[in-house]
């Protein structure tokens, strides 16, 4: 199967600002046919798409809780139907926050423990490689990607954490260069260094770091590309 035949939909809310980066990387770097879905587009469903990406940004300015307004936008009803039907949904940064607010993933985002916006490279330990987003990644491999967020301090009740652990729902944790989990490698105070989680069926994943900004060598890391490669591999083998 030619990558070109894979169709990706990228949701666009007022204030989305990583939409074009994801679009560019999917089309130009991975040869996928990606297109935008404006939040008010009158489409019946998203079944034409092989996967959906909710990109980063400041939807509605994030003047309320990050992602809270976008989660109630008409297109999110379609995303929910798509996800409940087993469709692959990836939320990046603000997209992760929107998935939490929409109830597609469990937990909440708090403001970073530094109380500041944090832009830097982080290292991620891949805990679960049995997902559509990580099936091309070697277990426990360490991926380098940039973060850029103000509210990435993941928090959840013990019950949610137990549930995540039971289902291998914690996909990525912040770690150091060598893969060691430590407080020093946690950029935002996130609970148990959690950087990315999936739902029970592992067809929905959200992560704070930006794989689209680390898919080309010239940008200092190609590690983020493994996530897109995984999705492509999964779809081809499905």
Partner 1 sequence: MNKTKKTNKPAEKLFGLSTEEYEKISELLGREPDDFELGIFSAMWSEHCSYKSSKVYLKTLPTEGGKVLIGPGENAGVVDFGDGDVLVFKMESHNHPSFIEPFQGSATGVGGIMRDIFTMGARPVANLNSLRFGSFSHPRTPYYLSEVVKGIGFYGNCMGVPTVGGEVVFDECYNDNILVNAFTIGIAKKDGIFLSSKCEIGNIVVYVGSATGMDGIHGATMASEEFDLKKNKKRSTVQVGDPFTEKLLLEACLEAMEKKLIVSIQDMGAAGLTSSSFEMADKSGKGMIINLDSIPLRTAGMTPVEMMLSESQERMLLACEKEKFSELKGVFDKWGLNCVIAGEVIKEKVVRFYYNSKIYKTLDVDVIVNGPEYKRPVKSPAYLKEIKPLKIKSYKMPGNLNDIALKIITNPNIASKKKVYTQYDYTIGTGTVVPPGFSAAVLRVSGNRLNQNKGFLLNVSGNSKYTYLDPFTGGALAVTECARNITACGGSPAAITDCLNFASPEDPETMWQFSSAVEGIKSAAIKLNTPVISGNVSFYNETAKKDGDRTYVSKIYPTPVIGMLGFIDDVNNAVTPYFKDEGDEIYILGSLNGNLGGSLYMDIIHNDFRQKPSALDLDYETRLQNCLRSLIAKGFIKSAADISEGGIFTALAESAIANPKRTFGFAVDYDINGLRADEFLFSEFEQAFILTADKELNGAHKAAVKKILGEYGIKLEKIGTVKNNEMKINGIINLKSDTIKEGYYSAI
Active site members: 93, 210, 212
18 sits near partner 1 (criterion: CB under 8 A): yes
| Contact positions with partner 1 (CB under 8 A) in 211-230 | 212-213, 216, 218-219
Cα 174 to Cα 88, 101, 124, 145, 210: the distances in Å are 23, 22, 5, 10, 13
In the bound complex, what is the minimum distance in angstroms from residue 18's beta carbon to partner 1? 7
118, β-bridge pairs: 149
Q: Does an H or E element contain 151, and which? A: none
Q: Please, are residues 146 and 214 in contact by the beta-carbon 8 Å criterion?
A: yes
Minimum Å gap between C-beta 179 and partner 1 is 17
Taking the complex as a whole, how short is the minimal distance between the CB of residue 50 and partner 1, in angstroms?
21
C-beta closer to partner 1: residue 213 or 226: 213
Say whether residue 65 binds partner 1 (CB under 8 A): no
Can residue 148 be called a binding residue for partner 1 (CB under 8 A)? yes
| CA–CA separation, 107 and 43 (whole Å) | 29
Q: Cα-atom radius of gyration of the chain, to the nearest Å?
A: 16
Confirm or reject binding of residue 183 to partner 1 (CB under 8 A): no
169 lines the binding site for partner 1 (CB under 8 A): no
Tokens of 236: 């081809």
Least distance from C-beta 4 to partner 1, angstroms?
Answer: 14
For residue 7, the SS3 value is strand
113 lies in the site for partner 1, by CB under 8 A = no
Q: Does 146 bind partner 1 (CB under 8 A)?
A: yes
Residue 60 interacting with partner 1 (CB under 8 A): yes
- Residues making up the chain, counted from first to last: 238
According to CB under 8 A, which one of 3, 7, 15, 192 is a site residue for partner 1?
15
C-alpha neighbours within 13 Å on the C-beta side of residue 39: 18
Decide if residue 101 touches partner 1 (CB under 8 A): no
Distance CA 230, CA 232 (A): 5
Please choose, out of 43-51, 159-167, 196-204, 207-215, the segment that lies near partner 1 by the rule CB under 8 A: 207-215
61 interacts with partner 1 by CB under 8 A: yes
Element (H, E) at 120: strand 118-126
Taking phi first (over 0 means left), then psi (-120 to 50 degrees means alpha), and beta for anything else, what does residue 3 get? alpha
Residues in touch with partner 1 (CB under 8 A):
14-15, 17-18, 21, 24-25, 27-29, 57-58, 60-63, 116-121, 146, 148, 150, 210, 212-213, 216, 218-219
């Amino acid at each position: 199967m030619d990558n070109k035949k894979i169709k990706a939909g990228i949701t666009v809310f007022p204030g989305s600002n990583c939409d074009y980066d994801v679009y560019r990387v999917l089309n130009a770097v991975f040869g996928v046919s990606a297109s935008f879905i404006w939040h008010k587009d009158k489409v019946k469903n998203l079944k034409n798409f092989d996967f959906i990406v909710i990109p980063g940004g400041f939807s509605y300015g994030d003047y309320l809780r990050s992602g809270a307004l976008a989660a109630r936008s008409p297109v999110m009803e379609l995303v929910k139907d798509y996800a409940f039907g087993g469709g692959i949904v990836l939320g990046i940064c603000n997209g992760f926050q929107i998935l939490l607010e929409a109830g597609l993933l469990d937990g909440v985002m708090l403001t970073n423990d530094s109380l500041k916006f944090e832009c830097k490279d982080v290292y991620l330990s891949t805990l679960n490689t049995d997902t559509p987003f990580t099936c091309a990644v070697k277990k426990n491999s360490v991926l380098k990607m940039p973060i850029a967020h103000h509210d990435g301090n993941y928090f959840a009740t013990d019950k949610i954490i137990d549930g995540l652990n039971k289902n291998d729902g914690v996909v990525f944790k912040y770690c150091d260069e060598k893969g060691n989990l430590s407080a020093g490698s946690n950029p935002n105070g996130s609970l148990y260094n959690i950087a990315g989680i999936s739902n029970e069926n592992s067809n929905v994943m959200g992560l704070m770091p930006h794989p689209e900004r680390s898919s080309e060598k010239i940008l200092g890391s190609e590690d983020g590309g493994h996530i897109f490669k995984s999705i492509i591999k999964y779809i081809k083998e499905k």
